[in-house]
């Protein structure tokens, strides 16, 4: 919304400088994006009249002019403008004047004396037009400073409005804000009812009262549509970003900018019968003022006459009934349309209009007749004519439900003990009818929102109004205070920063992604066909909450691949969102929804950076398995084969620590590799963050001074028996002498029958008090062998 400061101050004129006024508006929530002077600084330019024009004796394209500048004598000025003519009034820069980038002095031009300069708009910095002199009205007073005459000591204020503040889409709306913020007197424009002098009326009705709540209008006959728009109106329109079209159209635009009331004028001689506001019908079409032809349907509200639609209600009028320079009788319309009936219709037809912008946000439904009377007075003053009676049809207006605001609640939210009396004053300055009720302990205000404020619906809206007018800058910035308590830091838990550092040391880069993801990702990578949906997604492809981090990480890989990065290592620590039918008391867990923190990582491309001493090999399952084991150390990770919708059926494992599953690891399924256009396989893992943080408390163990004894145990078992099952069994025996057992070889082939495999384990035995004897070592090995044989049918490999 762009307005002129002079126009604004004609409504309310607080004793504030331009800078202070702009700051006040911004601090109250009406952000001022720009405040620029309408003209650059210049001085010494006055209104002058060209009294005589003669050709320059020494130059074909120059003229020697005799100019009256109100000094009692004629000045001789050499001018090269093609439009200079006797009798015209123009800006004249006198000797000593300062123009933007130019200093004017008396000079001799081609042998003729020049005592100043006649100016174009470009030379004054008003526009880029330098085709000729800036012609001023014939009644412009001679010798008056041009800055004063053209009101150039003005500023253009551009206010960035949020969609809920449609009441400020006018000079009156912003003036109301300034008056409320400063306490200055608000002066309203003259909207005195114009008494009718004719009985002419145009019949109209409302067939769709749910979409059009009010329709008012009057006939104005015998107007002079060719009358020129006054310069003061043109100036205000131009400084608000509107170009002058014709007097009748300019008046409607002026009232819309001034009062926020969209209006429309029809040529009554082009109307066929009365006007009806109804929904469109399939097969109907209308040619609009911009020449565009649109097809309407029952979802579009139309202004119609006997011929059919003659305009889109609240958006744009039709070409068939437009008022032009030949118009003699007009029907002036002022309507209220409910926002839901207009919202989205203009975009549907790829249209944009000031009226639609206002109606879809909410227009004051109590200003119909006021706007009509204001426009009538302006038309009569400019174009003449005879006004008929105002006809106002009300079908149904929005209900203004009172809103209750508790004083104690407002003081708590704002953080300042604003007195109830001051709150009462604030509501009064805002124009909010209010009633004070309750005792001192339970004081409250019941406020009825005015017709121009569609955004006041709940208690918090009123609290915001109190805070705005009281002044955000008056609210002290107090840091939150809380009682300090010395708490012991759990020894067995490490901070998240340590995990981040460890992953970074392992060569991964941290990424941060949206928690909103594509619904298809959930189906592909989590097998989740009922994800948590967003009620109001920011984009169609970000419509659900993710239950796994993998989809986002794959998107990161694809982003880097598209930028020629062939090796990618990335990790993310974030929450996932999963449905849960049980109510848990855990952190950030609510009934029906769990939000655990997870750590996800992905590796793609070569296992190592390219170097001369190592062959280029792709990353595989075991590379990331080593990283997971490093993250979980010193606790051993147990991996078991399992199936996951995102992973390769034969290259996926579930990860368990101390018998509890904490995550999974695996290679991306070939189906998703192909779908998401990954040339090579990516390996991923996802773990529970709490499990990674829980490293346990270190326990002391004696360091033996005696040499360890190492024995190898090779057994042949069925293919269905996992090596982990054998390790778990031998560990469960808890033999005192056995310190460590690990698998170091798996063999299939000659000497081992088909359907079986050979597993070789290295057993390390040691005692802290003495050297183990051969008999003790043999006995321990015999117990291990016996357990494997009896439980899993193993036999020693010979």
The mean pLDDT of the chain is 92
Please determine, for residue 311, whether its predicted confidence score (pLDDT) is greater than 60. Answer: yes
Is residue 640 over pLDDT 70?
Answer: yes
Strands 275-279 and 285-287: unpaired
In the CATH hierarchy, which fold is given to the domain comprising 403-474? Phenylalanyl-tRNA Synthetase; Chain B, domain 1 (3.30.56)
Lookup: tokens for 25: 């508006």
* Rounded Cα distance, 134 and 753, in Å: 106
pLDDT at 377 over 70: yes
The strand pair at 568-575 and 509-510 is best described as: parallel
Fold designation for 204-394? Phenylalanyl-tRNA Synthetase; Chain B, domain 3 (3.50.40)
155-160: strand order across its sheet: 2-4, 155-160, 31-37
- Using pLDDT thresholds of 50, 70 and 90, give the confidence band for residue 591: low
Is residue 313 classed exposed, middle or buried when 0-12, 13-18 and 19+ CB atoms within 10 A define those classes? buried
- Sign for the CA dihedral angle at 295, 297, 299, 305 comes to positive
pLDDT score of 589: 45
Assigned CATH class of 2-38+155-182: alpha beta
Confidence of residue 590 (pLDDT cuts 50, 70, 90): low
Residue partners of 253: CB distance under 8 A and separation at least 6: 237, 242, 245, 354
The string of DSSP codes covering 50-113 is: EEEEEE-TT-TT-EEEEEE-SSSSEEEEEE--TT--TT-EEEEEEEEEEETTEE---EEETTEE
Read out DSSP for 691-749? HHHB-------PPPSSPPEEEEEEEEEETTS-HHHHHHHHHHT--TTEEEEEEEEEE-S
Mean pLDDT of 16-44: 94
330-344, 503-517, 576-590, 703-717: least confidently modelled range: 576-590
- The answer, yes or no, to whether residue 169 has pLDDT greater than 70, is yes
Calculate mean pLDDT across residues 480-505. Answer: 86
Superfamily name and number for 709-796: Ferrodoxin-fold anticodon-binding domain (3.30.70.380)
Q: What top-level class would CATH report for the domain 43-149?
A: mainly beta
Query: For residue 585, what pLDDT is reported?
Result: 44
Using 50, 70 and 90 to split pLDDT, how confident is the model at 260? very high
**pLDDT at 72 > cutoff 90:** no
Sequence-separated (6 or more) residues with CB below 8 Å from residue 44: 93, 94, 96, 97, 98, 104
Mean pLDDT for 530-539 is 90
Q: What is the DSSP code (8-state) at residue 35?
A: E
- Host H or E run for residue 619: none
Give pLDDT, residue 198: 94
Over 90: is that where the pLDDT of 230 sits? yes
Confidence of residue 586 (pLDDT cuts 50, 70, 90): very low
- For residue 701, what pLDDT is reported? 82
How many other C-beta atoms are found inside a 10 Å radius of the C-beta of residue 596? 16
Q: Does the structure show a pLDDT above 80 at 480?
A: no
Residue 584 pLDDT grade (very low, low, confident, very high; cuts 50, 70, 90) = very low
> What is the C-alpha to C-alpha distance for residues 123 and 244, in angstroms, rounded to an integer?
23
What value does the mean pLDDT take over residues 552-579? Answer: 94
Token pair recorded at residue 358: 């206002």
**Which two three-digit tokens encode residue 493?**
């838990």
Task: Report pLDDT digits (tens) over 729-749.
Answer: 999 999 988 999 999 999 999
All structural domains of the chain with their residue ranges? 2-38+155-182, 43-149, 204-394, 403-474, 496-693, 709-796
Distance of alpha carbon 557 from alpha carbon 605, whole angstroms:
10
Phi first, then psi: give them for residue 445, nearest 5 degrees: -120, 135
Q: Are 208 and 278 in contact (CB under 8 A)?
A: yes
End-to-end CA distance of the chain: 91
CATH superfamily for domain 496-693: Bira Bifunctional Protein; Domain 2 (3.30.930.10)
Let me know if the fold of 2-38+155-182 is the same as that of 403-474: yes
- Is residue 581 very low, low, confident or very high in pLDDT (cuts 50, 70, 90)? low
Which single residue is written with the structure tokens 């560990």? 731
Cβ atoms within 10 Å, residue 82: 11
| Of 343-352, 473-482, 587-596, 728-737, minimum mean pLDDT range | 587-596
What mean pLDDT is predicted for residues 309-315? Answer: 96
Tokens of 251: 């008046």
Q: What's the whole-number mean pLDDT along residues 209-224?
A: 96
pLDDT digits (tens, 9 = 90+) for 393-434: 999 999 999 999 999 999 999 999 999 999 999 999 999 999
Q: Residue 583: pLDDT band by 50, 70, 90 thresholds? A: very low
Is the omega angle on the peptide bond into residue 746 within 30 degrees of 0, that is, cis? no
Structure tokens given for 551? 């989809």
Diameter over CA atoms, the chain: 134
Between CA 637 and CA 635 the distance in angstroms is 6
How far, in whole angstroms, is CA 769 from its chain's centroid?
A: 72
Give residue 442's pLDDT band: very low, low, confident or very high (50, 70, 90).
confident
In this prediction, residue 131 carries a pLDDT of 85
β-pairing, 293-295 vs 264-267, is unpaired
pLDDT at 702 over 60: yes
The burial of 72, by beta-carbon neighbours within 10 Å (0-12 exposed, 13-18 middle, 19 or more buried), is given as exposed
Banded pLDDT at 478 (limits 50, 70, 90): confident
Number of helices (H) and strands (E) in the chain: give both, helices first.
21, 42
What is the spatial distance between Cα 89 and Cα 549, in angstroms, rounded to a whole number? 74
Q: Rounded mean pLDDT of 381-396?
A: 96
Does 441 score more than 80 pLDDT? no
HSE of 658 in the Cβ direction (CA atoms, 13 Å)? 9
């Amino acid at each position: 919304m762009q307005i002129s400061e002079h126009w604004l101050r004609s409504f309310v004129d607080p004793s504030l400088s331009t800078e202070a006024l702009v700051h006040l508006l911004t601090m109250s929530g009406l952000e001022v994006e720009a405040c620029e002077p309408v003209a650059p600084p210049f001085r010494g330019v006055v209104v002058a009249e060209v009294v005589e024009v003669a050709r320059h004796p020494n130059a074909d394209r120059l003229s020697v002019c005799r100019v009256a500048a109100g000094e009692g004598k004629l000045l001789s000025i050499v001018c090269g403008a093609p439009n200079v003519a006797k009798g015209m009034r123009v800006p004249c820069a006198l000797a000593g004047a300062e123009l933007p980038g130019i200093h004017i002095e008396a000079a001799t031009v081609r042998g003729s004396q020049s005592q100043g300069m006649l100016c174009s708009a470009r030379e004054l910095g008003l526009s880029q037009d330098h085709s000729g002199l800036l012609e001023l009205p014939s009644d412009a007073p001679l010798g008056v400073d041009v800055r004063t005459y053209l009101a150039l000591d003005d500023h253009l204020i551009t206010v960035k409005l949020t969609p809920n503040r449609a009441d400020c889409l006018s000079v009156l709306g912003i003036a109301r804000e300034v008056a409320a913020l400063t306490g200055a007197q608000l002066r309203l424009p003259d909207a005195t009812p114009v008494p009718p002098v004719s009985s002419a009326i145009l019949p109209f009705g409302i067939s769709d009262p749910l979409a059009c709540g009010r329709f008012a209008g009057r006939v104005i006959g015998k107007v002079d549509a060719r009358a020129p728009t006054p310069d003061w109106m043109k100036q205000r329109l131009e400084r608000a970003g509107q170009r002058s079209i014709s007097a009748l159209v300019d008046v409607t635009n002026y009232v819309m900018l001034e009062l926020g009331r969209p209006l429309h004028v029809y040529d009554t001689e082009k109307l066929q019968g009365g006007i009806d506001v109804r929904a469109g019908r399939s097969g109907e079409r209308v040619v609009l003022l911009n020449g565009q032809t649109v097809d309407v349907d029952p979802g579009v509200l139309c202004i119609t006459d006997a011929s059919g639609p003659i305009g889109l209600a609240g958006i744009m009028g039709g070409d068939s009934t437009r008022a032009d320079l030949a118009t003699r009788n007009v029907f002036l319309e002022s309507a209220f349309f409910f926002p839901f009936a207009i919202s989205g219709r203009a975009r549907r037809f790829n249209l944009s209009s000031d009226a639609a912008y206002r109606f879809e946000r909410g227009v004051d439904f109590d200003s119909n007749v006021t706007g009509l009377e204001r426009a009538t007075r302006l038309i009569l003053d400019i174009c003449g004519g005879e006004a008929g009676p105002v006809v106002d049809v009300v079908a149904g207006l929005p209900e203004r439900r009172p809103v209750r605001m508790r004083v104690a609640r407002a003081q708590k939210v704002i953080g300042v003990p604003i007195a109830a009396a001051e709150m009462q004053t604030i509501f009064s300055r805002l124009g909010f009818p209010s009633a004070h009720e309750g005792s001192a302990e339970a004081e409250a205000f019941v406020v009825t929102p005015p017709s121009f404020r569609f955004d006041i619906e709940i208690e918090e809206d009123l609290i915001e109004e109190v805070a705005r007018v009281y002044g955000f800058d008056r609210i002290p910035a107090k840091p939150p205070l809380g009682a300090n308590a010395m708490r012991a830091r759990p020894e067995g838990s490490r901070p998240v920063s340590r995990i981040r550092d460890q992953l970074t040391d392992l060569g991964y880069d941290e990424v941060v992604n949206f928690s909103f993801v594509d619904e298809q990702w959930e189906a592909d990578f989590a097998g989740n066909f009922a994800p948590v949906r967003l009620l109001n997604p920011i984009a169609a492809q970000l419509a659900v909450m993710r239950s796994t981090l993998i989809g986002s990480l794959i998107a990161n890989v694809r982003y880097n691949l598209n930028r020629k990065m062939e090796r990618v290592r990335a990790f993310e620590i974030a929450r996932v969102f999963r449905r849960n039918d049980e109510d848990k008391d855990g952190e950030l867990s609510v009934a029906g929804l769990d939000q655990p923190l997870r750590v996800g990582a992905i590796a793609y491309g070569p296992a190592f950076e390219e170097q001369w001493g190592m062959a280029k090999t792709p990353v595989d399952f075991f590379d990331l398995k080593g990283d997971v084991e490093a993250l979980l150390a010193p606790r051993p990770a147990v991996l078991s084969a399992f199936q996951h919708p995102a992973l390769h059926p034969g290259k996926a494992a579930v990860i368990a620590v101390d018998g509890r599953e904490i995550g999974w690891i695996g290679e991306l399924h070939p189906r998703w590799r192909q779908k998401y256009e990954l040339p090579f396989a990516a390996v991923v893992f996802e773990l529970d963050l709490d499990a990674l943080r829980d490293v346990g408390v270190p326990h002391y163990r004696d360091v033996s001074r005696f040499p360890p004894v190492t024995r190898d145990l090779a057994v042949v078992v069925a293919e269905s028996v996992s090596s982990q099952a054998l390790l778990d069994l031998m560990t469960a025996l808890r033999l005192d002498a056995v310190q460590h057992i690990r698998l170091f070889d798996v063999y299939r082939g000659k000497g081992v029958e088909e359907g079986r495999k050979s597993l070789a384990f290295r057993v390390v035995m040691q005692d802290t008090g003495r050297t183990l004897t051969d008999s003790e070592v043999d006995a321990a090995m015999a117990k291990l062998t016996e357990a494997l044989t009896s439980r899993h049918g193993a036999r020693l490999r010979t």
